[in-house]
Amino acid sequence: MVLICLVAVAVFIILSIAPSISQSPSEDDIDGPTDDQPTTGNITLVLLRHGESEWNKLNLFTGWTDVDLSDTGRSQAEAAGKLLKEEGFDFDICYTSYLKRAIHTLDIVLDQMELEWLPVTKSWKLNERHYGALQGLNKSETAEKYGDEQVKVWRRSYDVPPPALDPDDERNPANQEQYRGIPAKDLPLTESLKDTVARVIPYFEEVIKPKMLAGDKIIIVAHGNSLRALVKYLENVSDEDIVGVEIPNGVPLVYEFDSDFKVISKRFLTDQNDAS
C-alpha cells in the first residue's frame, strides 16, 4: 500500500510540472533576430577614401601602383578612426582593395576604434582605376607633353581610357606577385571610369550588398575612382555628372538606406548636415 501511494505521489508531481516544461520558449519564440532573421530598420554604409599617398603628394598618376601613405595620409586615417569612434560607429565586416595605401588606412582606422579584430576582406576589384601607361608620370609634365585637353579627357571623361600598358610591362598586374592566381585576361592594362564601374559594381552587388541586407554593418576603404563608381551606383548619378564628383582623402562618407536599399541620407562625417 505504501509503495502504491509513493508511485501515485510521483506521478502527480511529474504531471504538475509538465506544463511548465512544455511552455519553455522555443528558438522561434525568442524575441530578437536570429541568424535566419535579418535585423530591421535602416541600413548604414561607410565609405572611406584612403589617406594621402606618397604619390598623391608628388602629383603622380598612381592607379594600381602600390605606394604607401604619406605622413599626412596617416594623420588623416587616425583622424577618421577617432571620429568614427566618437560618433559611435561599429562594424561587422570591413572591405578594402589589394593596395597598401587603402589597407594601411583601414588598419589605422581599426586601431583608433579598438576594433583590430574585425574580419577584413581584400579584393582587387576595389582597386583604384588603372591609369595604364600614365602610371608613375607627373600630371603636370604629362599635360605639357600631350596638352591639357588630352590629359583632361583621359582623367575626367567617363569612357575614354589612357594609353594601355604593353603586356610585357612590369607595371602590368599580371606580372606582379599580388595578382597571382587571377587570370591575366581579367586584369586591366588601362581603364576608363566606365571600366572601373563595370569592375566594382558586380562585386558590390554579389558580395557586399547581401551582407548589408542581412544586417551586417560595413565599412569600405578604397580609392577615389572605385568609390566614385559606388557613388554613381548608389545615387544613380549620370555618366556626365559622376566625372565631377570629388571624394576627399580620409573623410568618412556615411550613407543611410531604407529596407528597400533606397538612399535616405548621406553626409561627410566632418559635417553634420547632408552632403551636397
From the DSSP assignment, how many helices (H) and strands (E) are in the chain? Answer: 10, 6
The CA distance from 158 to 104, in Å, is 29
Can you tell me the distance from the alpha carbon of 250 to that of 115, in angstroms, rounded to the nearest whole number? 18
Q: How far is CA 52 from CA 55, 58, 73, 124, 224, in A?
A: 8, 10, 4, 20, 11
Q: Rounded to an integer, what distance in angstroms lies between the CA atom of residue 234 and that of residue 206?
A: 15
Residue with cell 579598438: 114
- The question of whether 50 is a catalytic residue gets the answer yes
Which of 104, 128, 191, 223 is labelled catalytic? 128
Secondary structure element (H or E) that encloses residue 264, with its range = strand 263-268
DSSP string for 94-132? EEE-SSHHHHHHHHHHHHHHT-TTS-EEE-GGGSPPP-G
Which is catalytic among the residues 50, 104, 130, 223? 50
Instruction: Look up cell 553626409; give the residue.
Output: 267
User: Is position 104 annotated as part of the catalytic site?
Assistant: no
Give catalytic residues, as residue numbers: 50, 128
